[in-house]
Amino acid sequence: MDDWTDGYVTELPYSVNHFPEMAPAHLRLALLQAGLAAPNIDEDFTYLELGFGQGLGLNMLAAAHPQGRFFGNDFMPAHVAAAQALATQACLSNLQLVQDSFAQLHDRDLPPMDFIVLHGVYTWVNADNRAHIVALIARLLKPGGVVYVSYNSMPGWANKAPLQRLMSEAAQRQTDGSALQRFHAARDLLGQLDAAGAAFFASNPGARTALRDITNASDAYLLHEFAPRGWTPFYHTDVAVDMARADLQFAASAKLFSNFPQWSLPAASRALIDATEDLGMRELLRDFAMQTPLRRDVFVRSPRTLGAAEIEQEYNTTLLALQRPPASCARNVRTPIEALRLEDDVVDVLLASLANGPQNIAALMALPALANTSPASIRETLDLMLCLGYLGPATAPQAETRSRAHALNNALLKRLLAGERLSGLVSPAHSAGIVIAYHDLLFLAAQQIGESNADALASYAQAVLQISTGSTATSAALPQLQREARNFLNYGDEYYRSLDLFSAA
């Protein structure tokens, strides 16, 4: 392995994903739930992503927020080239991407940042690079600025961590083959151990589940998640100590369910945690209670606590938007701890109203059809729908948002048709990246060339799938694609049209 990688495997690019919880509007909502102020994103703001991977999310945010200035680094040439190509095709003048390590990024003349985000990176890099990350945050983050850091957490990774170590040790001792081939062999060794009756698996059912997850993982995920030599899962308190060196305090979770103990913690665990004053200890107890595998922490420098009137004002003016077709919003749902039934009458009214476009919470609370429903019940339903991902925070679009989003989506369609598996598109109506199921993306692409009936959509999707897999194995899946296309037209088409993803033909 080359020294320039610092123990990070660069053989394959990372998968092409975006993560909605990294959006400024989502981070603002998480802080509001904690009663804290967030940077103003309606006017000029700055946003830095450390280790942006393929850069899909960063491109989406830059397209959706022309009022913001976006920056990002990644040290893998393939990642930077792919991200820059997207930015160029979409004419995103507010996005600056650099091929820098974290050490090299210190030498860049960057402005003070309102937001600094990193997804998974803190787990994957070595201690020296983690120190560089903390130093960059200490130097660049504004007072009141926000840091999002996600990382594999303990004890949630207690079952997988020994498997990662064994794979890493086995792969390092092999001399033949690529890194991927060595890790395939190391993964096979885990399966052989299990089949041989190794006590670790026999006495630890969770390890078998972890092995199944690893066996089913994509090659890109396998290498980037398990191969880095500096790979480390963290207890929250360790990360909080690191961030305190940059003058940051833990504020909230970007996983919204975690901000509502009544939906995320059993009652007995809540009592133990409520009796604990120390914030770090509370979060540590939460992770033991929930076996949290991935934390999505939000830290703030010099956080400002909002008064009750400010919270109410901020909450009422928060724009909400649908994040999925209304027909896919089930009423029987499961929180992290229990099954619940949403109130049909309330949910139906909210979904019908939001089908017309994003609305602020005050307008939703005042809907005439909900006049006989208590404000507390409406608010609770909205909070639960946000946690479930039925709804998400939106931002009022700027004048240039539509053209920029359409340009980026057109560029993404070309990648989709070339066989890339993308995670979504940008909605100028929401000023946000929207997660869209892969087959629905293919149906949307078919519509852009004039296809309109289910059979035509399915045939088009099948052809693209054959390109992406390099085989004709998907021919047997045509009936399933036809069923999905009919559901798309019956239940999703109107929703996707409301997102204003493409210019009218």
Q: Give every CB contact of residue 192 below 8 A, 6+ residues apart in sequence.
A: none
Lowest-pLDDT range of 200-214, 263-277, 426-440, 474-488? 474-488
Locate all alpha helices (DSSP H) within 173-235, ordered by sequence. 179-195, 199-202, 205-216, 219-226
- Judge contact between 394 and 431, C-beta under 8 A: yes
Kindly state whether residue 5 falls inside one of the protein's structural domains: no
| Whole-number pLDDT of residue 1 | 38
Q: Does one domain contain both 246 and 291?
A: yes
* Residue at which a domain ends, from 277, 301, 325: 301
Provide the number of structural domains found in the chain: 4
Q: Is the pLDDT of residue 17 over 60?
A: yes
Q: Does one domain contain both 42 and 89?
A: yes
Q: Does one domain contain both 407 and 390?
A: no
Q: Does one domain contain both 323 and 292?
A: no
Q: Give every CB contact of residue 303 below 8 A, 6+ residues apart in sequence.
A: 31, 36, 37, 144, 249, 251
Q: What value does the mean pLDDT take over residues 261-274?
A: 94
Kindly state whether residue 60 falls inside one of the protein's structural domains: yes
Q: Is the pLDDT of residue 336 over 60?
A: yes
| Whole-number pLDDT of residue 4 | 41
pLDDT tens, 134-157? Answer: 999 999 999 999 999 999 999 999
DSSP letter string, 232-289: --B-HHHHHHHHHTTTEEEEEESSGGGG-HHHHS-HHHHHHHHT---HHHHHHHHHHH
| Whole-number pLDDT of residue 468 | 74
Q: Does one domain contain both 25 and 132?
A: yes
* Residue at which a domain ends, from 226, 252, 280: 226
| Whole-number pLDDT of residue 220 | 81
pLDDT tens, 69-123? Answer: 999 999 889 999 999 999 999 999 999 999 999 999 999 999 999 999 999 999 9
User: Domain residues for 359?
Assistant: 317-394
pLDDT tens, 450-501? Answer: 999 999 999 999 999 988 776 555 555 899 999 999 999 999 999 999 999 9
Provide the b/e sequence for 374-396 (b: ≥16 CB within 10 Å): eeeebebbbbbbbbbebbbbbbe
| Whole-number pLDDT of residue 486 | 96
Q: Does one domain contain both 208 and 166?
A: yes
Kindly state whether residue 378 falls inside one of the protein's structural domains: yes
pLDDT tens, 202-211? Answer: 998 889 999 9
Q: Is the pLDDT of residue 126 over 90?
A: yes
What are the angstrom distances between the C-alpha of 483 and each of 15, 83, 410, 422, 459? Answer: 28, 34, 26, 22, 12
Count of beta carbons in the 10 Å neighbourhood of residue 46: 20
Long-range contacts of 87-90 (CB under 8 A, 24+ apart): 87/55, 87/59, 87/62, 89/407, 89/408, 89/410, 89/411, 90/59, 90/63, 90/404, 90/407, 90/408, 90/411
* Residue at which a domain ends, from 340, 367, 394: 394
Q: Is the pLDDT of residue 2 over 50?
A: no
Rounded Cα–Cα distance for residues 331 and 354 (Å): 17
Q: Does one domain contain both 110 and 83?
A: yes
For the chain, the average pLDDT equals 93
What are the angstrom distances between the C-alpha of 437 and each of 256, 384, 440, 501? Answer: 21, 22, 5, 15
Return the closest-CA partner of residue 412 out of 444, 453, 373.
444
| Whole-number pLDDT of residue 472 | 53
Rounded Cα–Cα distance for residues 31 and 163 (Å): 36
Kindly state whether residue 504 falls inside one of the protein's structural domains: no
Kindly state whether residue 7 falls inside one of the protein's structural domains: no
| Whole-number pLDDT of residue 484 | 95
pLDDT tens, 308-329? Answer: 999 999 999 999 999 999 999 9
pLDDT tens, 166-193? Answer: 998 998 898 888 888 998 999 999 999 9
Kindly state whether residue 505 falls inside one of the protein's structural domains: no
Lowest-pLDDT range of 218-222, 292-296, 352-356, 384-388? 218-222
Strand-pair category, 113-119 with 141-152: parallel
Q: Is the pLDDT of residue 49 over 60?
A: yes
Kindly state whether residue 62 falls inside one of the protein's structural domains: yes
| Amino acid in the structure at residue 115 | F
Rounded Cα–Cα distance for residues 455 and 488 (Å): 12
| Whole-number pLDDT of residue 477 | 85
Rounded to 5°, the CA angle 313-254-309 comes to 15
- Judge contact between 331 and 347, C-beta under 8 A: yes
| Whole-number pLDDT of residue 295 | 98
Q: Is the pLDDT of residue 11 over 60?
A: no
Q: Does one domain contain both 47 and 96?
A: yes
Q: Is the pLDDT of residue 504 over 90?
A: no
Q: Does one domain contain both 177 and 56?
A: no
Q: Please name the residue that has the structure tokens 């603002």.
A: 28
Q: What value does the mean pLDDT take over residues 359-378?
A: 97
Kindly state whether residue 312 falls inside one of the protein's structural domains: no
Q: Does one domain contain both 428 and 479?
A: yes
- Judge contact between 240 and 280, C-beta under 8 A: yes
| Whole-number pLDDT of residue 228 | 81
**Per-residue confidence at 505, pLDDT binned at 50, 70, 90?**
low
Strand-pair category, 339-341 with 332-334: antiparallel
What are the angstrom distances between the C-alpha of 86 and each of 145, 333, 376, 439, 445? Answer: 28, 37, 44, 22, 18
Stronger pLDDT, 260 or 226, i.e. the higher one: 260
Q: Does one domain contain both 118 and 36?
A: yes
| Whole-number pLDDT of residue 382 | 98
Stronger pLDDT, 355 or 472, i.e. the higher one: 355
**Per-residue confidence at 7, pLDDT binned at 50, 70, 90?**
low
pLDDT tens, 229-250? Answer: 889 999 999 999 999 999 999 9
| Whole-number pLDDT of residue 470 | 63
Q: Does one domain contain both 268 and 296?
A: yes
CATH number at residue 288: 3.40.50.150
| Whole-number pLDDT of residue 217 | 86
